[in-house]
Amino acid sequence: MPTPESSRLAGQFALVTGASSGIGAAVAKTLAAQGAAVVVNYIGNPDAADAVVQEIAAAGGTALAIMADVSKEDQVQAMFKQAVAHFGTLHIVVANAGIQVDSGFVDMTLAQWQKVIDVNLTGQFLCLREGAREFIRRGPQPEVSKALGKLLCMSSVHEVIPWAGHVNYATSKGGIMQLMKSAAQELAPQKIRVNAIGPGAIKTPINHDAWATPEAEAKLLTLIPYNRVGVPEDIGQLAAWLVSDEADYITGQTIFMDGGMTLYPGFATGG
């Protein structure tokens, strides 16, 4: 018999970065709805993080907000220390936090390049590393989950689709692919699964201008064969399944959830 959704992640502890808004908030809420206790990481907006924690609690779940800048090693380590002190261990880490700092290629400053690489790529490395260290320290708990632990990266369709005007962002997401795959290869013998989700266009603050008006949304839909802009809950559902035992044999994969954005829609009518 399949496990009911509400207890799919029962007894597990999860940490989600950038969870005070958008996709991270939806992932945190979905993991909690499926039984995990969740650390809601945030930077700069304690009220928004608190609202996510309250929403999870109101639905009968357990959550704790912890502030940390994922691009700073000392802050990431302090966050994991606090999470483990509070919950005892972690079984799931979702490295979701990410930013865009857009600029044309020839005008991009080193600071614009570095900021995005620091948050989107180094931040994911730091969180994956601390997660793996904690899984190994804790040791197996087969009664809780088949894997020693699950690491999940929030990548993007720009892991594979080049993006003019966003070379720092696209590079960070391409880097996440090799971070995820190399870590997956190295950690698989220890039964740590490492995967990524590559969202297409999802309605969140990061891309507000791309869907906020009917004209903008219509233009965006020309890139989406399925003819619908995604919502954070789409990604939340996939994340919860990917870190569950139902996906125990999946490691080293990016699952694109994009309504067909990676299907080269420009070729739909010939080419």
Binds ligand NAD (CB under 6 A): choice among 36, 43, 93, 194: 43
Q: Find out whether 184 and 196 touch, Cβ atoms under 8 Å.
A: no
> In the complex with ligand NAD, which residue's Cβ is closer, 201 or 238?
201
Contact letters for ligand NAD, residues 55-74 (x by CB under 6 A): --------------xxx---
Residues 127-156 that bind ligand NAD (CB under 6 A): 154, 156
206 binds ligand NAD (CB under 6 A): yes
The backbone region for 249, taken as left when phi is positive above 0, alpha when psi lies in -120 to 50, beta otherwise, is alpha
Q: Find out whether 197 and 152 touch, Cβ atoms under 8 Å.
A: yes
Binds ligand NAD (CB under 6 A): choice among 12, 18, 65, 148: 18
Candidate segments 4-12, 57-65, 95-103, 136-144, binder of ligand NAD by CB under 6 A: 95-103
**Separation of alpha carbons 32 and 85, rounded Å:** 19
Residues 219-258 that bind ligand NAD (CB under 6 A): none
Q: How many residues bind ligand NAD (CB under 6 A)?
A: 27
List the catalytic residue out of 42, 169, 226, 249. 169
Least distance in angstroms from the C-beta of 169 to ligand NAD: 7
Q: Find out whether 80 and 101 touch, Cβ atoms under 8 Å.
A: no
Per-residue exposure over 20-29, b if at least 16 CB sit within 10 Å of its own CB, e if not: bbbbbbbbbb
The amino acid sitting at 247 is A
Our answer to whether residue 226 is catalytic in this structure is no
CA angle 79, 25, 86 (to 5 degrees): 30
Q: Just list the catalytic residues.
A: 169
